[in-house]
């Protein structure tokens, strides 16, 4: 066996534990992720979990990477308004239904506490906004991309997480129209 080859049992263990941790992180938030609970949910011993992930942040790091690696965005059609609408509705659904708001809350709470957390925050933001960023980059002046992205994603994030309200089709349509109108009048 070469140094690059991974024992299939180790690969399976890593997959199972990371999937269990990701599910736990999304369902319970950062505070719910403990070695004991991951062991219980994954079916592996705490000793196995500690051997591969000595610190809780190691588990969380791999879980966030897992979530990001499996992210997908709706395909763009070329229609700016419709593509933004579809992308924002998808973002709102991910925040609410997939409980990404809990994951983000944990990152925000721990911002600047470690380089790992800051890297995860950046990775999650870039992953979550890459679809919308691509749409905006296709249609807008480069100077308008970041402010428009912040307005769109920020408004949906606040609506879902802080206001506890749905970012439904009506809300998203109004938001997209306002941002596009502001861009045209600027």
Q: Say if residue 89 is in the same domain as residue 161.
A: yes
- What's the pTM? 0.84
* pLDDT for the residue numbered 186: 59
Q: Domain of 56: which CATH number?
A: 1.10.10.60
Q: Is residue 144 part of a domain?
A: yes
Same domain, 35 and 79: no
User: What pLDDT was estimated at residue 96?
Assistant: 81
Is the domain of 80 the same as that of 99?
Answer: yes
| CA dist., res. 51 & res. 13, Å (int) | 11
Q: Please, which pLDDT band fits residue 81 given cuts at 50, 70 and 90?
A: very high
CA–CA–CA angle 116, 120, 123 (5° rounding): 140
Residue 102 within a domain: yes
Q: Is residue 2 part of a domain?
A: no
Same domain, 135 and 152: yes
Same domain, 155 and 79: yes
Range(s) of the domain holding residue 32: 8-67
pLDDT at 4 > cutoff 70: no
The answer to whether position 1 is within a domain reads no
Residue 60 inside a domain? The answer is: yes
Query: Which CATH number belongs to the domain containing residue 114 in this structure?
Result: 1.10.357
Look-up: residue for tokens 């905006």?
136
Q: Which of 50, 67, 84 is the endpoint of a domain?
A: 67
Kindly report the average pLDDT of the chain as a whole number.
91
Q: Are residues 126 and 167 in the same domain?
A: yes
Greater model confidence, 29 or 35: 35
pLDDT in tens, 106-157: 888 898 899 999 999 999 989 989 999 999 999 999 999 999 999 999 999 9
Domain count, the chain: 2
Query: What confidence tens digit (pLDDT) does each residue in 84-93 have?
Result: 999 999 999 8
Q: What is the mean pLDDT of residues 178-185?
A: 84
Q: Is the pLDDT of residue 3 over 70?
A: no
Q: Do 82 and 170 sit in the same domain of this protein?
A: yes
Question: Within a domain: residue 3?
Answer: no
């Amino acid at each position: 066996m070469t140094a690059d080859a991974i024992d299939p049992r180790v690969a399976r263990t890593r997959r199972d534990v990371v999937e269990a941790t990701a599910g736990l992180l999304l369902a319970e938030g950062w505070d719910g992720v403990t070695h004991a609970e991951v062991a219980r949910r994954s079916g592996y011993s705490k000793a196995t979990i500690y051997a591969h992930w000595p610190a809780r942040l190691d588990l969380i790091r791999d879980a966030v990477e897992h979530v990001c690696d499996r992210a997908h965005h709706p395909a763009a059609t070329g229609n700016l308004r419709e593509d933004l609408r579809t992308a924002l509705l998808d973002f709102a659904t991910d925040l609410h239904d997939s409980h990404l708001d809990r994951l983000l809350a944990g990152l925000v709470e721990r911002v600047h506490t470690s380089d790992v957390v800051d890297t995860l925050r950046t990775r999650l933001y870039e992953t979550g906004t890459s679809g919308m960023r691509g749409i905006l980059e296709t249609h807008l002046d480069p100077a308008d991309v970041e402010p428009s992205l912040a307005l769109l994603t920020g408004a949906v994030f606040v609506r879902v997480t802080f206001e506890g309200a749905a970012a439904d089709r009506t809300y998203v349509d109004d938001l997209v129209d306002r941002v596009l109108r502001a861009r045209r009048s600027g």
